[in-house]
Amino acid sequence: MMSCTQSNKQTDKTSQLASKIDNIDTNKDMYSIETDNYLSTKNGFNLSGLFNHVKTVILETKKDVLIGNITSMQVYKDSIFILDNISSNGLFLFNKEGRFLKRYGNIGQGPGEYLKPTDFSLDVKSNKVYILDSKSQNILIYNLSSGSYINTIHIVNRRFKSYHIQYANGRIFADAYYFEKNKYAFLLQEINKSTGERINQWLPTKSYNKNYSEPLFASENVFYDRTQESPKFIQYFMDTVITIGHNKIMPLLSLKSNKLLKEVDLQDFNYRKDNIVMKFLLKDIVYHISNFCSYKNILYFTFRYKDLFECCIYNKNTKETQIKNMIFDDLVYKTHEGGSYLFPRFCTSNEDGMYAYIHPIEMKKFLELAKCNKLRPDLDKIDKLKQLTSESNPVIFIYQ
C-alpha cells in the first residue's frame, strides 16, 4: 500500500518509520488507577500520613542569580539543578544547603550560548549536562563539574519541533510538536547524538494524545523521574504514563474512567490554549496527568477534573489508591483553616525524598504566613525563613 500511494522518497521514508511507532513493549504489571469513585467527593489528605519530616533548602539570593520561575528542577546527590526560562533564562546549580555554585551557558548566539533554554537533562555517568534551545533546535552540551561548553547537536527536522529532552541509558530522547496536521505525527523520538537526526519514534499522536500535536501546551513538562534509572514520559492529553527503561519503552500506569477526555472533546476550540482550558473548567472530563514523582513504594501525580487538580497517591506494595482534591501540608504549616497554607508543588524526587518548592509568585504569601506564626515552630530553619524578603529566591522543601 505504501509503495502505491506515496509520491516521493521522503514521504515513503516517513510512512515506513510511522509503521513502527506503536511498537512499544507490553507491561503485564502496568498499574491501573480507577478514578470515578473518588471524583464526586470533596476530601483532603495530610502529608504527615506519608512523611515524617521536612528538610528546608533556602536558595542563595544574588543579583545575577534571581530565580523568577522554576521551569524544571532535577536533583542528583548533593546537587540541585534549576532551569528558569522566564526571568533569568538559564540553568543554575545549587547544593543542598542552597549555596549557588554555577550557571551553565548564557543568552546569545555564539558558541555555548542559547536563545531560549526550555529544558535540560543530566548524563551523570559521563559528567555532562544537555540544554535544549527550542528556538534554534540546538542541544548544547556542557561539562557538569566545570560548566565549560563542550559542543552542540542540532536537531534535524522540518515538520516538527522539540521543546524537551531526556538523556537515558546512553540515548537522547525528545518530544515532538507539529505546526500542521500530520497523520504520521508521533510524541516521542530518539535523537542521534552525532547527526541530530531522529532514529526512532514511538507513540502515535492519534492513539496516545487524542490526535493533538500542536505546540500550544509545549511549555508543560513531559519528562519525570528524570535522574532515576527509568524516566517517565507524559504529554498533556495522555492518560497513560510511559516508562523509558533499558531497551524498553512501555506503559507504566494508566487512568481508568468513564469521564476520560476523548478526541472529539478537543474539536472546535480554534486551537487557542485559553479556549481549551476555560472550556474544560465546565466539562465533566478527566485529563492531563502531571507532577509525577515516585519515592520508595509511592507513586504520586496529579490530574485535572473540571476546575480541580486531583492528587493521586498509589502504594505499589498494598495496591491502595488514594485520590484527593486537597493536600494539607501539616508538616510545614500549623493549620489549613482559612487558607493558612500553600499547596505543595511536588516536582522531583530521589532517594532522599520528594521535592516541592514555593513558587516565586507565592513567596509574598508564604512570608506573610511565616511572620504571622502560621508555620510549624519545629520546621527546619524556621528562623531563617522568617528573615526572607519578597526579593529572595524560592524555598525548597524535601519531604522524607
- pLDDT higher than threshold 90 for residue 4: no
- pLDDT higher than threshold 50 for residue 184: yes
- CA dist., res. 209 & res. 27, Å (int): 19
Q: Given pLDDT bands bounded at 50, 70 and 90, which one contains residue 275?
A: confident
Q: Given pLDDT bands bounded at 50, 70 and 90, which one contains residue 6?
A: very low
What's the pLDDT at 290?
A: 96
Element (H, E) at 380: none
244: number of Cβ within 10 Å: 23
Rounded to a whole number, what is the distance in angstroms from the first to the last CA of the chain? 56
Mean pLDDT calculated for residue range 98-103 = 97
What's the pLDDT at 12?
A: 42
Across the strands, what pairs with 103?
92
- pLDDT higher than threshold 60 for residue 18: no
- pLDDT higher than threshold 90 for residue 278: no
Element (H, E) at 39: none
What's the pLDDT at 35?
A: 94
- CA dist., res. 121 & res. 105, Å (int): 14
pLDDT digits (tens, 9 = 90+) for 335-370: 877 777 899 999 999 999 999 999 888 999 999 999
Concatenated DSSP letters for 277-300? Answer: HHHHTTS--EEEEEEEEEETTEEE
What's the pLDDT at 376?
A: 96
Mean pLDDT calculated for residue range 273-300 = 89
Mean pLDDT calculated for residue range 177-190 = 90
User: What amino acid occupies position 148?
Assistant: S
Cell digits of residue 395: 524555598
Cut 0.85: pTM above it:
yes
Q: Given pLDDT bands bounded at 50, 70 and 90, which one contains residue 169?
A: very high
pLDDT digits (tens, 9 = 90+) for 24-74: 888 989 999 999 988 877 788 999 999 999 999 999 999 889 999 999 999
What's the pLDDT at 2?
A: 37
CA 350 to each of CA 175, 226, 246, 291, 295: distance values in angstroms, whole numbers, following the listed order: 24, 9, 19, 14, 7
Q: Given pLDDT bands bounded at 50, 70 and 90, which one contains residue 270?
A: low
Burial of 335 (0-12, 13-18, 19+ CB in 10 A): exposed
> Which domains are present in the chain?
31-399 (2.120.10.30)
pLDDT digits (tens, 9 = 90+) for 121-155: 999 999 999 999 999 999 999 999 999 999 999 99
* CB contact at 8 A, 229 and 6: no
- Short-list 253, 245, 238, CA closest to 298: 253
| 3-class DSSP assignment, residue 11 | helix
Q: Given pLDDT bands bounded at 50, 70 and 90, which one contains residue 271?
A: low
What's the pLDDT at 22?
A: 62
Long-range CB pairs of 224-229 (<8 Å, 24+ gap) are 224/291, 224/292, 224/293, 224/348, 225/292, 225/293, 225/294, 225/348, 225/349, 226/74, 226/121, 226/122, 226/166, 226/348, 227/74, 227/75, 227/76, 227/122, 227/124, 227/348, 227/350, 228/294, 228/349, 228/350
- Short-list 339, 371, 343, CA closest to 45: 343
- CA dist., res. 4 & res. 7, Å (int): 8
Range with lowest mean pLDDT among 232-241, 285-294, 309-318, 339-348: 339-348
